[in-house]
Structure formats: structure tokens, C-alpha cells
Amino acid sequence: MERDNKARLYDLQHRMHCAALPLGDKPQEAWDQASTMLNKSIQVLMPWVKVTTKEDMRRQIVDNWAATYGDPNDPEVIERSRQTALALIREANAAIRKSMAG
């Protein structure tokens, strides 16, 4: 029962910090606190799961991106990314113009 109560408390705190993200002038602080609460919940409910640090998460995101799209330092990958970004910007601008036209 104590374990369940702890998990509920951390879940509530996590939700409160996430809700505060768009409101405060320190979104990084709210994000960090929300992440801390989520990690505490994970440790209570699944103690066998390794809680990752920000650096671990950043490295995992970079590695996953590289595995999906290629080495971010490769000139060909850079050019493909640039072309994709330009196409997305053109599509977004067209959608905005269309919505403003009526």
C-alpha cells in the first residue's frame, strides 16, 4: 500500500509540474522537476528499470536519429535535412496563406 501511495504522489507531482510548463517563466525548471517525479515513479513501480540522466537521454536521441537518418555530420545527410526543412516551411507557408485567404 505504501508503494502505491508513493507512486500516486509522484504521479500527481509529475502532472502538476507538466501542467506548469506553459505557465511559468522557468519552463526548464518545471521540465526538470517533472522528469524527476517521473523517474521517482518509475523507480517505485519498476525498480529494475535504470533511470537515465539527461546526457543518457540526449545521447539516445542522437543515436536513434543517426540510425534512422544517417550521421548528422555527413554533408549528404545535412543537405537532405536542409531540403526537408525547406519543403516543410514551404508547405506551412502555403497552408497559412490558404487559411488567411478565406
Averaged pLDDT score across all residues of the chain: 81
pLDDT of 93: 92
Q: What is the pLDDT of residue 44?
A: 79
Q: How far is CA 70 from CA 3, 57, 98, in A?
A: 43, 19, 35
The reply to whether 44 and 71 lie within a common domain is no
Clarify whether residues 2 and 41 are in a common domain.
yes
- Is the domain of 1 the same as that of 34? yes
Q: Are 38 and 31 in contact (CB under 8 A)?
A: no
- CA dist., res. 37 & res. 21, Å (int): 14
Q: Is the same domain home to 96 and 73?
A: yes
What average pLDDT score do residues 65-84 get?
91
- Distance, CA of 51 to chain centre: 16
Lowest mean pLDDT segment, chosen from 48-52, 86-90, 97-101: 48-52
* Residue 13 and residue 30 in one domain: yes
Same domain, 9 and 34: yes
Q: Count of domains in the chain? A: 2
- CA dist 37 and 54 (Å) reads 14
Same-domain pairing of 24 and 35: yes
